[in-house]
Amino acid sequence: MISRKRFGLWLAAAVFVCGFCTAAYGGEQDTFVTGTFINGIDVGGQTVEGAKGILEKPDGYQLEILKKNGEKDIIRGSEIGYRATVTGDLGAVLAKQNEEGRVTGPAIKHEFTVDMTAAFDQAALTERIANLPCVKGEGVIRTADARISDYEEGKEFTIIKEVYGEDVEPDKVKAVITSAVAKGQNSVNLSEQGCYRNVAVTSEDPRLKEMKDMMNRCRTMKITYVFGENEEILDGSVIASWLTGFQDGQVQVDAQKALSYIQALAGKYDTAGRARVFKTVAGREVELTGPFGWQINQSHESAALIAMIQTAQSQSREPQYVQIGAQRGLDWGVTYAEVDLTNQHVYMIKDGSVVWDAPCVTGDMAKGYATPEGIYSLTYKEKDRILRGRKQADGSYEYESHVDYWMPFNGGIGFHDASWRSNFGGTIYMSGGSHGCINLPPDRAALLYEYVYKGMPVICYH
């Protein structure tokens, strides 16, 4: 049997323990149970009106931003001009506590959420978001896809592993936080909201491995350009330095570097428009320029070069040309027409030998119609043609002359018969010459017509 004294001690201890763990209150109360949190804010001991005042108090609001690394950032209502209005039923929360016996204590959580509408300074919030450490990216490990290593001379391309970082997508963070503030939420988890950048390509991606293998094949390939007896070799070590990536199953090549290489070849091997030394029938050497000669089609050839690189296979090639000479090393070759403007004589050279010649009359020097020097090519040849001069104000032409044989090589300048002349050669051209054409005796023009052909070199010199 327990003594009265011992029973009193036991009862006091029991009351103490129960008071520490839980407490029950009968009847309805007009205040929230101690330890009540609504939308993350402590309203314990407050009436409904008191709780509403606390919830709507600007400096009472804060948004806790949970980050991937376990750290948190805080945005406070006072920083963004926050003003909230409780639209949910706080009375219902209090009634629920009363119905459940108003139990409280360390083992019981009283956390509730009620609807709220919020107004805030959007510009201030935007600025605050922009200055969050996770958005600014200060000291943050950045997410990176697996990739091919950059070009290093003498080294193979390798795969650099992906990086799973902690950098966010700023626009998504802004949208998520703005939405949370607008709803009066007190916390937001950036990971759960998908705000972190994701790895799109891993080191196990078969396309990445294919890219690496092809780029390494490019390192060992070579492209040989052939220019007659000369060759230019584009080595794989140079090609590898032009590679910029991989797309649609093909290596990507720096187009500007490919074009620059072709331009360098053109600078070395193009002859059209450049000065060259021509040896006349008389054995004299004259320096001439002119449009005839070799000219690489740079845009087409640079595209062709890129296509060759993308095969990752060694190959030889002659460039694409806008126009070509008769042969490399001697642009006009061994078959061409030669016009000696000083001595007023024309020669037809075929396979290195003079097979035809004739006196001529060239452009009138006194009137400013001098036939220009240069290296040209025959544009075409035509019989029974009317040649006309400039059209005049009254609709007539400066001159109209019928010719049996017309062989142009420099715009409107060409060889033709001149039946209206009785004499050729000498100094007629000085003051009684043509408008720039090479006038020939009719019978000699007929023979020349049989020798010439489209594209044949025509060389005029003094």
pLDDT for 58 equals 67
Sequence-distant (6+) residues with CB within 8 A of 14 are: none
pLDDT at residue number 13: 43
Phi and psi dihedrals of 187, rounded to 5?
A: -155, 155
**Tokens representing 367?**
């009137």
Radius of gyration from C-alpha coordinates of the chain: 47
Q: What is the DSSP string of 172-217?
A: HHHHHHHHHHHTT-SEEETTTTT-B------TT-HHHHHHHHHHHH
Residue 135 is inside which H or E element, if any?
A: helix 133-136
Question: Across the chain, which distance is largest between two alpha carbons, in Å?
Answer: 164
Going by their DSSP bridges, the two strands 374-377 and 353-359 should be labelled as unpaired
Give which of 251, 173, 172, 253 is closest to 212, Cα–Cα.
251
> What pTM was computed for the model?
0.66
pLDDT of residue 39: 79
Tell me the torsion sign for CA atoms 437, 358, 271, 228: positive
Among 331, 269, 330, residue whose Cα is nearest residue 297:
269
Give the span between the Cα atoms of 161 and 116, in whole angstroms: 46
The answer to whether 114 and 93 are in contact (CB under 8 A) is: yes
How confident is the model at residue 101, as a pLDDT? 79
Cα(23)–Cα(107) distance, rounded to whole angstroms?
Answer: 11
User: Which secondary structure element, helix H or strand E, spans residue 219, and what is its range?
Assistant: helix 206-220
Three-state SS letters, 65-126: EECCCCCEEEEEHHHCCCEEEECCCHHHHHHHHHHCCCCECCCCCEEECCCEEEECCHHHHH
Residue-level pLDDT at 21:
41
Q: Is 106 exposed, middle or buried (0-12, 13-18, 19+ CB in 10 A)?
A: exposed
Q: What is the pLDDT of residue 106?
A: 64
Pairing of strands 276-279, 285-288: antiparallel
Dist. CA 74–CA 84, nearest whole Å: 18
Q: How far apart are CA 114 and CA 298, in angstroms?
A: 72
Average pLDDT per run of 10 along the chain, which is 462 residues long? 43 41 60 87 90 80 89 91 88 88 73 86 94 86 90 90 92 94 88 92 91 92 96 95 87 96 98 97 97 97 96 95 95 98 98 98 97 98 92 84 97 96 97 97 98 98 98
Q: Rounded to 5 degrees, what are φ and ψ at 189?
A: -105, 110
CA–CA distance, 419 with 149 (Å, rounded to integer): 76
d(CA 430, CA 449): 26
Q: Dihedral angle at the C-alpha atoms of 60, 65, 71, 76, nearest 10 degrees? A: -30
**How big is the CA angle at 104 (ends 103 and 109), to the nearest 5 degrees?**
105
**What SS3 string covers 137-181?**
CCCCCCCECCEECCCCCCCCCCEECCECCCCECHHHHHHHHHHHH
User: 């030998």: which residue's tokens?
Assistant: 353
Closest CA to 158 of 213, 222, 202: 213
Q: Residue 147's Cα: distance from chain center in Å?
A: 19
With a CB cutoff of 8 Å and minimum separation 6, the contacts of 247 are none
Q: CA 5: distance to chain centroid?
A: 94
pLDDT of the residue at 345:
98
